[in-house]
Structure 1
Amino acid sequence: MDIQDIHEKFDSLDIDGDGYIDREEFIQHYERRGQDIDILASRFDEVDIDGDGRISRDEFLTAARAPL
């Protein structure tokens, strides 16, 4: 996934366009794809590096670039 793809993915998750992905947006997006809500909540917490309850574009980019 290149940088443009990462930005587009972030924008698709940021439903309200406030520049952040909140827990509800994150879980709602992935839950529709059949993912387990407990796993999603845990993953959200991993990506939300500063623990403010929302994922910034920088946090999202960091997570997307991290090795699996």
Structure 2
Amino acid sequence: MALALGLGSREIAGQIIAGIYVRELFQVGQQVRVGDTEGQIEEIGTVKTTLLTDEGELVSFSNRILLEQRVSSR
């Protein structure tokens, strides 16, 4: 149980740190492309960032994914 708790805490801490970096790299309103998804950043949260696509769809990405994948911006 202690091992599971420790591993879970490490994952949460990593997500929070990723959120801090994402806030420094990107801004709400910025147009970005992540993989095949392109949209405007609607919200940058502690663990996820939400994009609004041109089709009106809200798509959420883990902040860690935004740091690990190539993200293009205009």
TM category (shorter chain) comes to: 0.3 to 0.5
- The TM-score normalised by the length of structure 2 is 0.32
Which TM-score applies when normalising by structure 1? 0.34
